[in-house]
Structure 1
Amino acid sequence: MNLWKDIKNLPPSAPNMLYAVIETPRGSKNRYVYETSSETFVFRVVSYSPYYYPADYGIIPQTLGNDGNPLNIMVLIDQPTFSGCVIKIKPIGILKMKNRNKSDDKIIGVPLDDPHTRKFKDIQYLPLSFINEVTHFFVEELSTEILGFDNKKEAMRIIKGSMNRYNEMISFRSLFLLD
């Protein structure tokens, strides 16, 4: 099963409810990346540092970000899950950033049925300590440029655009029998 292509985020639920595929669990200093071409998780060393992932981190299936990769998501969850875990989430905001001078937005979501995060309906409900932790992680550990955080409405716009890009890519590939 290709976790990027085979898990469907379809209307009417999407983008209010989406699936997230976890690559790197919260608290990990290791980085795991889902390679869509080989359908495997690959270990990538970030660096030798004291920083760890502040949330479960992964991809949203059937999306294509501006960088040509699946759209990334950070899932706020009380206990870390594991690489390959699929979680039903609701998006609540977005972290806008640049990595190597390219747009590299990160959706922020919470598990759909988690009583601990049910109160987070939009980005303004998140604790400032979490915003600071995420900012510090991406600036210090991954040397990215933070452009700011935005609300659920903007996250939904970005998700819809990434779903459209994915569908266009699939249509193009099938038109020329590339899959």
Structure 2
Amino acid sequence: MSAVRVGSARNNANPPGSIIQPAIAAEHLSAGEVHLAQGGLVLAPVFSMADYLTLPAISRNLFRVVVETPRGSAAKLAYEPKTGVFEYSRPLPVGHTYPYDWGFVPSTLGDDGDPLDGLVIHQAVAAPGVVIKCDLLGALRVKQRDPDGSKVRNDRYIFCPHKEDAPDEPVVSADVPENLRREIEQFFLSSALGTGKKIKLKGWQNAAQAKASLTKGMKSFKRKRAR
């Protein structure tokens, strides 16, 4: 929350001798967000949302994933940067739900013009806007054909939280098990029904290969921001 000037004590129509109170006391603002009211200026609070797109992608060798759609959701949600909210995007095909938390890696850019996608494999359920620091497990390589006929690379990166919520029974360790790979593949194939998009699976990348692809996406984001 930050404070902005909304008026002046000299310009406000107040009875003589009245006292103009600040809209919020400075001690209730966090460090770095306090603006002093000088010259009789009145303060008012403004609530601002985080800019999820520009969060650093990496923190201490861990990747950040912004959750858009939580595990178990039968509808896809998407972050809308213009409004700073998570909007309803579309329903999944009948009987389908997201198997794990789904979102994106901030400060990255893919061939489709969006941040790179991330699936976070764990035994809990987060919520839209939650940021999870993750270990990278690998990536499912995907070629996508959009309704307009254009073809783009749209890989799905697979992560797990660095601090597993059930360390005694981890879902995954350093790699994505073969049976789980098949289930993830089937989910993405079936969830594209009704979108007009056609996807073709091109195999899997290990963690090192996936990290190189993510690094490329980070560089693409930086180049776009520098323009």
Alignment TM class, shorter chain as reference: 0.7 to 0.9
- SS of equivalent residue, structure 1 residue 144: strand
2:84 to 32, 35, 39: 39
1:132 to 168, 173, 182: 182
- Which letter maps to 1:134? I
Residues 12-37 of structure 1, C-alpha deviations (whole Å, 9 max, x = no match): x3xx3111100011121111011223
Contact conserved, 2:160 with 2:172, CA < 8 A, in 1? Answer: no
Let me know the Cα RMSD of the aligned residues.
1.7
Q: Rate the CA distance shift 1:26–1:170 in 2: closer, same or farther, 3 A.
A: same
Number of equivalent positions: 165
Decide which structure has greater strand share.
Answer: 2
Structure 1 residue 49: deviation in Å?
1.2
1:71 to 116, 120, 130: 116
- Which letter maps to 2:217? S
CA distance in 1, matches of 2:171, 2:183: 21
Corresponding position of 1:146:
201
TM-score of the two chains, using structure 2 as the length reference: 0.68
CA distance in 2, matches of 1:75, 1:85: 12
- Which letter maps to 1:89? C
TM-score of the two chains, using structure 1 as the length reference: 0.85
Q: Percent identity among equivalent residues?
A: 27
- The structure whose Rg is larger is 2
Structure 1 residue 170: deviation in Å?
0.9
Corresponding position of 2:125:
80
Contact conserved, 1:110 with 1:117, CA < 8 A, in 2? Answer: no
CA distance in 1, matches of 2:170, 2:152: 31
1:108 aligns with 2:158: yes
Mean alpha-carbon deviation: is it higher for 111-120 or for 93-102?
A: 111-120
Contact conserved, 2:137 with 2:158, CA < 8 A, in 1? Answer: yes
Corresponding position of 2:174:
121
CA distance in 2, matches of 1:37, 1:96: 29
Flag the structure with more relative contact order, 1 or 2, with Cα contacts below 8 A and sequence separation at least 6: 1
Q: Which runs of 5+ in 1 are unaligned?
A: 173-179
Q: Which runs of 5+ in 2 are unaligned?
A: 1-49, 146-150, 193-197
Contact conserved, 2:63 with 2:134, CA < 8 A, in 1? Answer: yes
Decide which structure has greater helix share.
Answer: 1
Structure 1 residue 48: deviation in Å?
3.9
- Report runs of 4+ in structure 1 exceeding 4 Å deviation: none
1:2 aligns with 2:51: yes
Mean alpha-carbon deviation: is it higher for 28-37 or for 44-53?
A: 44-53
